[in-house]
Amino acid sequence: MEFSRRETLALGLGAAVVTVMPFSVNAAADDVIATFTGGADMADTGIELTAPEIAENGNTVPVAVSAPGASAIILIATGNPTPGVAQFNFGPLAASQSASTRIRLAGTQDIVAIAQMADGSFAKASATVKVTIGGCGG
């Protein structure tokens, strides 16, 4: 990002040191959720979503999901240009219904994980991840 000298001065003069990308939400995220759940209610227990509070770098953010007894879990980045991130389908030889991966986040946003349980019900967890502008070289 190119800053004019005026902007650099403003930053240096006590503006927030941590520069945070603007929060954004995407209506397409709701569509992705609706496709997965068919509009059903989602319980707020039964699924865990682990993500850092502040991402070291938005290009590679480690996240983990876990929902004992789930047949599938979807992961959504509500602030990304396209919100769908992944869908984990667990087979009979999965030892646990959990997985970790690394994702790209375009800016500060909520990420959402929804599990479909064996009995057909759904559970949802979300986490806010701050994505910052780095200091030097991005």
Which residues form the interface with other proteins (CB under 8 A)? 5, 8-9, 11-14, 17-20, 52, 54, 56-57, 59-62, 64, 77, 80-82, 84-96, 98-105, 132-138
Shortest CB 21 distance to other proteins, Å: 10
Residue 46 or residue 58: which is nearer to other proteins going by CB? 58
3-state secondary structure of 79: coil
Residue 86 or residue 127: which is nearer to other proteins going by CB? 86
Cα distance between residue 111 and residue 86, in whole Å = 12
User: Is there a contact between 47 and 65 (Cβ–Cβ < 8 Å)?
Assistant: yes
Question: Shortest CA distance to 61 belongs to which of 33, 29, 86, 94?
Answer: 86
- Return the sign of the alpha-carbon dihedral for residues 112, 127, 119, 96: positive
Shortest CB 113 distance to other proteins, Å: 13
Residue 38 or residue 81: which is nearer to other proteins going by CB? 81
